[in-house]
Amino acid sequence: MAESPKPSSSGRSIGAVAMRWHGNSLELLDQRLLPGEEHWITLEGAAGVAQSIRDMVVRGAPAIGISAAYGVALAARHAGGGDWKAEIKQAIRELAASRPTAVNLFWALQRIEQVFHECHSLAEAVKRLDQEAVAIHQEDLAANIAMADHALEFMAPARPISVLTHCNTGALATGGYGTALGVIRRLHEEKLLKDVFADETRPWLQGSRLTAWELARDGIPVTLNADGAAAAIMARKNVRWVIVGADRITANGDVANKIGTYSLAVLARHHKVGFMVVAPSSTVDMSLASGSDIPIEEREGLEVREIRGIPLAPAGVRVFNPVFDVTPASLIDAIVTEKGVVRNPDITGMRALFG
Contact yes or no for 90/150 (Cβ under 8 A):
no
> Which residues, at least 6 apart from 110, have a Cβ–Cβ distance to it below 8 Å?
none
Could you give the residue numbers annotated as active site? 247
Instruction: Report how far residue 19's alpha carbon sits from residue 27's, in angstroms, rounded to the nearest whole number.
Output: 5
Instruction: Report how far residue 247's alpha carbon sits from residue 335's, in angstroms, rounded to the nearest whole number.
Output: 13
- Helix (H/G/I), strand (E/B), else coil: 125: helix
Instruction: Report how far residue 271's alpha carbon sits from residue 121's, in angstroms, rounded to the nearest whole number.
Output: 59
| 37 C-beta neighbours (distance < 10 Å), count | 8
> Which residues, at least 6 apart from 335, have a Cβ–Cβ distance to it below 8 Å?
246, 249, 253, 255, 276, 277, 278, 279, 341, 342, 345, 350
